[in-house]
Amino acid sequence: MEPAVLYLEPRNDHAAALRFFSRRSWLRRIARLGRGEPKTLSPKLPYVELVWMPWYLVSFTMTSRRGTGITDVAVDAYLGAFAIFQMHPHLREGVIDGDVFEPKMDPEEAAAIGRKRLLESVMFRRGQRNKPVPGEAENVRLIHYPFYVYYYERRPGKIDIKVFDAVRGENPGSKTKNSILTAMVAQRREAT
């Protein structure tokens, strides 16, 4: 039996991911040009799967003249992408299904990145007074974030991916795509 993990519950299902990918699909453009369906490297392509990326949820005590409070940030466990975390209602604990990637960085490194990026975001705010200062990390937890990955053949012999955020229902951007590709390469290297 697999151990229970902390994860964000997907709010978009496989069908929503297929709709997202099909509206931007290069297959439509080819069909409009009258060239028909392209040949693929494998009978499996194109296809979509759910993957779970490791992120660290780091809690910081923020201190200012107005008082203290807690701010949570999420740090990608592969390339160190950063976001203020506000999805607490969607956190669940249990067993997840799909490809689960192991974290590349340790919790201490994630806490250091989170603190540095949080401090940068505070410093870029307007005004000079009453800016909160983050203290040391209070709590660091590993969470798993769901993404749908669309594999397709960009050109003959060249496989590419597109990514769909299963929680927010949008394209997560190039940093997340790079993180997923890095995780896939690391997993493949460990397997061989």
- Lookup: tokens for 178: 């790079």
- Lookup: tokens for 34: 């009258």
User: Whole-angstrom Cα distance, residue 22 to residue 26?
Assistant: 8
User: Whole-angstrom Cα distance, residue 192 to residue 188?
Assistant: 6
Instruction: Tell me which amino acid residue 14 is.
Output: H
Instruction: Tell me which amino acid residue 141 is.
Output: R
Instruction: Cis check for the bond before 46: say yes or no (omega within 30 of 0).
Output: yes
- Lookup: tokens for 181: 């590709």
Q: How confident is the model at residue 30, as a pLDDT? A: 42
- Are 11 and 148 in contact by the 8 Å Cβ rule? The answer is no
Q: How confident is the model at residue 116, as a pLDDT? A: 92
The tens digit of pLDDT for each residue in 23-79 reads: 755 545 444 444 444 444 455 778 889 999 999 999 998 888 888 888 999 999 999
- Are 53 and 76 in contact by the 8 Å Cβ rule? The answer is yes
Backbone angles phi, psi at 25, to 5 degrees: -70, 140
Instruction: Tell me which amino acid residue 83 is.
Output: A
Residues of the chain with pLDDT under 50: 27, 29-41
Q: How confident is the model at residue 127, as a pLDDT? A: 66
Q: How confident is the model at residue 24, as a pLDDT? A: 53
User: Whole-angstrom Cα distance, residue 148 to residue 48?
Assistant: 7
